[in-house]
Amino acid sequence: MKVAVLGAGAIGAYVGAALYRAGVEVHLIARGEHLAAMRQSGVRVLSPRGDFTGHPHATDDPGSVGPVDYVFLGLKANSYAAAGPMIRPLLHETTAVIAAQNGIPWWYFHRLPGPYEGYRIESVDPGGSVTAALPLERAIGCVVYAATELEAPGVVRHLEGTRFSIGEPDGSISARCTAFGEAMAQGGLKCPVEADLRHDIWIKLMGNIAFNPISALARATMAGICRHERARALVVEMMRETVEVARRVGCEPRISIERRMAGAEKAGEHKTSTLQDLEKGKPLELDVLLAAVVELAGLTGTDVPTLRSIHAVTDLLDEQTRLGLVPAG
């Protein structure tokens, strides 16, 4: 098995090091000081489950890697449309692309029986640009439950969780998913192949859709939001509206809002990825979180006033960030 990790940041490098430990031929594609450190000393993983170091090949040139069996995408979803030139050298006829992303993926309605089968979600696949870069037949979904951060170039701090659920858009338990899941397990990670990955997508999204934008607007941690009475009520209402949209497109999340809130509280003084991006002056990954669900609400005639309001103000925040008008840090 030959795997390329495109966007080998905290999550990507963690996965790459684990697969390398399982004996997989791994190529990490990164840049800057992080790439230089991985070339020199490998990937150092610091984890409560045991520290380890992996030494996969690391490069900034996909052309030097050539075609692989799997491309694991560690990029933010808002980078997918521009990733075509980086991905093309990695593809052969049957290469699968495993997209480890938050929110609603570009493939969501691909091979999903029902009234919306084949619908392209404009907010996550504008003009079909993501599909052009990442053809639907190559897509394998992935919902990440692991938390990691780059402690230093080449050094990944694993905080909690080892689960990377994967699944085919058509719900089949395919040979390509099974083989990848087994390799991940041999490397010490959990990688169940789910027949209904969309269920996992909505459960994770229930938290992301509320905590990520609110954390950026308030510069607050997960625990800080939960402690604030009115902010907590706002999160609950956003979750309620999100669950209703999920139901309208045929998915019934099998978890209560109360249980989802309890899970979020356990994260403690954790900064969401959106808040971290804001503090670094990076574009905010909001299209797949908020804009997509607002679009689906319009498609299904679902009333989501709270989501629409939060989307409006965070979209403004993102615009100001891109223009350099929001101070970082």
Label residue 269 by pLDDT band (50, 70, 90): confident
Q: Are residues 132 and 32 in the same domain?
A: yes
Task: Give domain status of residue 327, yes or no.
Answer: no
Please say if the pLDDT value at position 254 is more than 90: no
Residue 155: band (very low, low, confident or very high) from pLDDT cuts 50, 70, 90: very high
pTM: 0.94
Contact 274, 283 (CB under 8 A): no
Question: Annotated catalytic residue: which of 2, 76, 190, 204?
Answer: 204
pLDDT at 265: 84
Residues 6+ apart with CB under 8 A from 18: 45, 54, 184, 187, 188, 189
Residue in the block written with tokens 């998913």 = 177
- Say whether pLDDT at 328 is over 80: no
Q: How many CB atoms lie within 10 A of CB 66?
A: 13
Kindly state whether residues 182 and 42 are assigned to the same domain: yes
Q: Is residue 329 part of a domain?
A: no
Domain membership of residue 113 (yes or no) is: yes
- 77 and 158 in a single domain? The answer is yes
The tokens for 251 are 């998915």
The question of whether 204 is a catalytic residue gets the answer yes
187 and 211 within one domain: no
Domain boundary among 172, 195, 218: 195
pLDDT average, residue stretch 124-145: 97
Domain of 83, in residue numbers: 2-195
Q: Are residues 67 and 96 in the same domain?
A: yes
Pick from 129-143, 245-259, 313-327: least confident: 313-327
Could you count the other beta carbons within 10 Å of the beta carbon of residue 22? 17
The total number of structural domains that make up the chain: 2
At 119-131, the pLDDT tens digits run: 999 999 999 999 9
Question: What are the structure tokens assigned to 49, written together?
Answer: 């489950």
252 plus 187 within the same structural domain: no
pLDDT digits (tens, 9 = 90+) for 180-224: 999 999 999 999 999 999 999 999 999 999 999 999 999 999 999
Structural domain includes residue 238? yes
On whether both 133 and 227 belong to a single domain, the answer is: no
Q: How far apart are the first and last CA of the chain?
A: 41
From the number of C-beta atoms within 10 Å of its C-beta (0-12, 13-18, 19+), residue 150 rates as: middle
CATH number at residue 127: 3.40.50.720
Identify whether the C-beta of residue 305 lies closer than 8 Å to the C-beta of residue 260: no
Q: Is residue 183 part of a domain?
A: yes
1-20 residue pLDDT tens: 999 999 999 999 999 999 99
Looking at residue 133, what is its pLDDT?
96
pLDDT tens digits, residue range 316-327?
Answer: 999 998 888 877
